[in-house]
Structure 1
Amino acid sequence: MSEFVTTSNGDRVAYDRRGDGPALIFVAGAGPWREIDPDTTRTAELLAERGVTTIVYDRVGRGESATGGVITLERELAAIEALIGVVGGRAALCGHSSGCSISLRAAVDGLPVAALALWEAPLAPPNSGAREWADEVNRWIDAGENAAALDEYMKDMPPEILDVVRSIPAMVEQAPSLRPDGESLAWAESAPHAQLFGGIRVPVLTMVGEATYDIMTPAAESITAAIPGASWKPMPGSEHSWEPEAMAAELAAFVHATHAADPAASATTATITATATN
């Protein structure tokens, strides 16, 4: 059964919590919510078996996190902050696709992020057109043309993927939730990555699927070069999706290692334990 938390902006965010131990929050990319994302749910279940507290949530404006008004990047970051509070005040983030740029922004903005695990961050070099593209997506959203906004957002994806996405009515209805994705990607392209991300001082692991799109490996290399101590690696996965068993094993090792090295870890663990027993 879903749990709910209310953000500082008043959004009611639905989530599933599993397991005990250091915390990891999954930050979805453009479009998915829990009901249509079984791979993330399965990964969270496997992580819970490996001693990790997991949070899988419906992003603002999706699934059971329905809302109104303009869904800004700030509202999405407030959701992450509220969910970090649910697990004791400190958590690793696992971003998927544009969820990576949202997660990076959370760390840069000073949210209590313990580590970043980034799956297939689709980040282009500076000034490659993301600002103009995001503005066009937002223009369609503001006009109430959700189908056109979704088409614009997905315009560089293979046509067969767009056909699948367009066949899901809720994906069109929830197109206003794409604004934070576009805004975070435009931000991630607004300057060299070393300038944007160079101040991040938490462990960062960037991963790409063994069969992936051309943009993903250069992006992983750029993120790694920008953040001191960051690393990247190929993982089992294709078509922008990971394999839950392999991903859970990798994330469990990453979360436990970073937790052990985190000077704030003992306080967070104590808070989680106290919350779980009350």
Structure 2
Amino acid sequence: MGHKTISRDGTSLAYDSTGDGPAVVLVSGAMSTGATLAPLAGSLAERGFTAVWYDRRGRGESGDTAPYDVAREVEDLAVLIDAVGGEAALCGVSSGGALALEAAASGLPVRQVAVYETPFTVYEGGKAEWAAYTERLTEALGKGRRGDAVELFLRLTGLAEAMIEGARQSPMWAGLEAIAPSLAYDAAVLGDGGVPRERLAAIEVPLLAVAGGESPAWMREAAQAVAEAAPQGSYRSLPGQTHMVEPQVLGPVLAEFFGA
């Protein structure tokens, strides 16, 4: 990361940017750092935007300050927006979308907000499943069992047991354990797991919710529910895409929306 700024509670935030034009701040999801969104940033930069990616607190090169509160992450975004010109569009991917939506609802100087497959639960039993996950996650992290916390998350995403075991034996596992405590932050941002319709109704700027055409039906339904709950919400499905969306497919869609 090439730049640092300091959030209101003293937490150091690492960020980088590319391109020239209106600012778009990219918000990463669970078990990821800002670097995962660098390819998407490049796609937006090619289309006339200054794309900004950052390490959320507790990850990568950014610091962390206890106790955690979702409001502190909203303040992080406020400071970043100020650092890149005082106004920006937001794009949140996966659970990062929940943070982007909360920031927009909080009245930050945001032009537009776009989210890709924010994993709100819309299916029967979804909230109960989410509650069970967060309870087990809290227990594992409370006892310092970071590896178990990572396993819980990977299992929640539907990864097969053999693949989880393989991941445990891989060189990447240490990096996953290093940011495992931030899983609690994503859990907090997602709340009870349901679509926060009242909060979304407070978003006064244009909103775009996007999902992949090859993703599970509930992902598309969740994105549609987000769009429907926002006063200026719209929905779009990307044919052939999954949760691991291709930056060169999502980038043009975002550029069209942010350029409107």
TM-score interval, smaller chain:
0.7 to 0.9
Q: Tell me what 1:128 maps to.
A: 127
List aligned pairs for 1:48-67, cutoff 5 A. Answer: 48-67=45-64
Q: Distance in 2 between matches of 1:226 and 1:107?
A: 14
Which deviations, in whole Å up to 9, do the C-alpha atoms of 1:183-212 show, x marking residues without a partner? 1112552xx643231121111111111211
TM-score with structure 1 length normalisation? 0.82
Secondary structure in 1 matching 2:85: coil
Aligned: 1:215 with 2:214: no
Gaps of 5+ in 1: 258-278
Q: Tell me what 1:158 maps to.
A: 158
Q: Tell me what 1:197 maps to.
A: 200
Q: Is the 8 A contact 2:212 2:220 kept in 1?
A: no
List aligned pairs for 1:129-144, cutoff 5 A. Answer: 129=128, 130-144=130-144
Residue correspondences, number: 252
Q: Tell me what 2:80 maps to.
A: 83
Secondary structure in 2 matching 1:117: strand
Q: Is the 8 A contact 1:209 1:235 kept in 2?
A: yes
Secondary structure in 2 matching 1:83: helix
Q: Distance in 2 between matches of 1:71 and 1:87?
A: 25
Which stretch shows the higher mean deviation, 68-77 or 213-222? Answer: 68-77
Q: Distance in 2 between matches of 1:165 and 1:59?
A: 23
Q: Distance in 2 between matches of 1:26 and 1:48?
A: 12
- State the identity %: 33
Q: Distance in 1 between matches of 2:154 and 2:12?
A: 27
Q: Distance in 2 between matches of 1:101 and 1:15?
A: 20
Q: Distance in 1 between matches of 2:238 and 2:38?
A: 18
Q: Distance in 1 between matches of 2:146 and 2:78?
A: 28
Compute the RMSD of aligned alpha carbons: 2.2
Q: Tell me what 1:97 maps to.
A: 94
Which stretch shows the higher mean deviation, 147-156 or 83-92? Answer: 147-156
Q: Tell me what 1:173 maps to.
A: 178
**TM-aligned CA deviation for residue 56 of structure 1:** 0.8
Secondary structure in 2 matching 1:219: helix
Aligned: 1:206 with 2:205: no
Q: Distance in 2 between matches of 1:107 and 1:162?
A: 35
- Taking a change above 3 Å as real, the CA distance of residues 151 and 188 of structure 1, as seen in their structure-2 partners, is same
**TM-aligned CA deviation for residue 173 of structure 1:** 1.6
Secondary structure in 2 matching 1:159: coil
Q: Tell me what 1:265 maps to.
A: none
Q: Distance in 2 between matches of 1:252 and 1:80?
A: 20
Q: Tell me what 2:243 maps to.
A: 240
Deviation beyond 6 Å, 4+ runs, structure 1: none
Q: What is the identity, as a one-letter code, of the residue corresponding to 2:22?
A: P
Secondary structure in 1 matching 2:149: helix
**TM-aligned CA deviation for residue 163 of structure 1:** 4.9
Equivalent in 186, 190, 211 of residue 185 of structure 1: 190
Aligned: 1:250 with 2:253: yes
Q: Is the 8 A contact 1:70 1:176 kept in 2?
A: no
Which deviations, in whole Å up to 9, do the C-alpha atoms of 1:15-43 show, x marking residues without a partner? 111122211111101011144x2xx2122
Q: What is the identity, as a one-letter code, of the residue corresponding to 1:91?
A: A
Gaps of 5+ in 2: none
